[in-house]
Amino acid sequence: MRPVFLAFCFTLLAFCVQAENCLPAAKDYWTPRITQYSTLLGSRLTQGNSYTSVFNSAEYADWKTAIMESARQLDITFPSDYNNSFVALSSALLGELPIGETSQQNMTILPDIRFSVADDFDSPDHLILIGKISKRINVNSSQFETLCESLLQCNAQGQSACQLYLDAWAKAVSAYKYEMERVTPQKMAELAFEYSDDWNQFFNEARSQTLLDRMLTAQMNRKMLISQTFQKAPDTQYFVAHPGVVMEYANQAADGEQLKAALSVEWLGVNRWRGCHFGFSNIPCGLSIVSVYSDKASSRDIGHGAMFHFSNAYSLGLIDRAGQTSVFISVDILKAFEPEKNKIEKWRKQADKFLKPFS
């Protein structure tokens, strides 16, 4: 009797241990198939890359392939019509990704899939897409317990192997989004310093802006600026009704009026302060529609034209005053007061030298 009892105890113990291993078995099942690719994609997101670059990366391609392959496998395990299929759910997830966004937005808008257990035994379980739009598919997992146990190679006594299997799949797919939450405080601090340096560079090196300019720039980059994640400074500055002082050279003007200080207004302008990426050079550059005013006896006081900016500090313009063409140069006055920049007086003395070749 004792040997039979001991054999029964060992069998029961082995059965319980096997049941305890069913939960990690479900996780381990999807780790090489999906989770590793989700983790790599999530790591790419934490590096502060734009969505455009992230969703054109090899990490994204591998993750997408892994998801769709697993979805087709699940549709074989849990057959249903297309609208209630894993392929349809996964396709909806991929369609929710902000692939066309040039900068990262709030991480909470990234879609994910969650598993929900049925409220009662007779109802199906659910897999729900959480995103800008929601999609739900139903799975009668209780009908496939034997198959799920076979796939996971465990006996989920007291648990549902299919529910563990499906819950682990949803978490594996969505791990790309949750990777941000796994970033260590040290890494977050490093990102904070990196992005802080980028904003300091923006304020120190980009063209100076008035309150109106900053408001317009903020408006044009509002989606990025309201993000709750780290964001680098915008690449493009915008200008509206931006005042300035220029040195204008008009070869056709009367003697004494050829080189003269003038007031300018940039009605609308843009500036790529990091660089314009010409291929052979990466010099910061910009363009504005401008009007220039100066008191002239031999021509109209106001002229209109275009203004070209380079190196975030200097501008060269061409304007027309009722048929009389003149050129002008300008320097960012706020930049001129910085120690490393040339002084305005030195620039004014050399204005004639620089402008005469353009006349």
Query: What separation in angstroms does the CA of 30 have from each of 40, 169, 174, 330?
Result: 15, 6, 12, 62
Instruction: Return left, alpha or beta for 156; rule: phi > 0 is left, psi -120 to 50 is alpha, else beta.
Output: beta
pLDDT of residue 233: 84
The stretch 337-346 carries a mean pLDDT of 44
Residues 6+ apart with CB under 8 A from 232: 48, 195, 198, 199
Residues 6+ apart with CB under 8 A from 104: 45, 48, 49, 50, 51, 224, 227, 229, 231
Give the count of beta carbons closer than 10 Å to the beta carbon of residue 84: 18
Which pLDDT tens digit goes with each residue over 27-63?
Answer: 899 999 999 999 999 888 877 666 777 888 899 999 9
CB of 273 within 8 A of CB of 284?
Answer: yes
Which pLDDT tens digit goes with each residue over 195-216?
Answer: 778 888 888 888 988 888 888 8
DSSP state of 343: P
Confidence of residue 144 (pLDDT cuts 50, 70, 90): very high
pLDDT over 70 percentage in the chain: 74
Helix (H) / strand (E) element for 226: namely: none
* Cα 261 from Cα 246, distance rounded (Å): 6
pLDDT above 50 (res 303):
yes
The stretch 91-109 carries a mean pLDDT of 70
Report pTM.
0.50
Give the count of beta carbons closer than 10 Å to the beta carbon of residue 234: 18
Lowest mean pLDDT among 66-70, 77-81, 298-302: 298-302
CB of 247 within 8 A of CB of 307?
Answer: no
pLDDT over 90 percentage in the chain: 38
CB of 129 within 8 A of CB of 138?
Answer: no
The stretch 74-82 carries a mean pLDDT of 95
The stretch 323-346 carries a mean pLDDT of 64
pLDDT of residue 215: 87
The stretch 302-323 carries a mean pLDDT of 90
pLDDT above 70 (res 13):
no
Lowest mean pLDDT among 39-43, 191-195, 302-306, 313-317: 191-195
pLDDT above 60 (res 103):
no
The stretch 147-154 carries a mean pLDDT of 91
The stretch 326-348 carries a mean pLDDT of 59
Half-sphere exposure of 132 (CA within 13 A, CB side): 10
Q: Which residues pair with 310 in a beta bridge?
A: 285, 314
pLDDT above 70 (res 21):
no
The stretch 219-248 carries a mean pLDDT of 83
pLDDT of residue 204: 82
Confidence of residue 100 (pLDDT cuts 50, 70, 90): low
Closest CA to 52 of 111, 105, 16, 4: 105
Which pLDDT tens digit goes with each residue over 161-184?
Answer: 999 999 999 999 999 888 766 665
The stretch 341-354 carries a mean pLDDT of 43
pLDDT above 80 (res 135):
yes
pLDDT of residue 256: 65
pLDDT of residue 60: 92
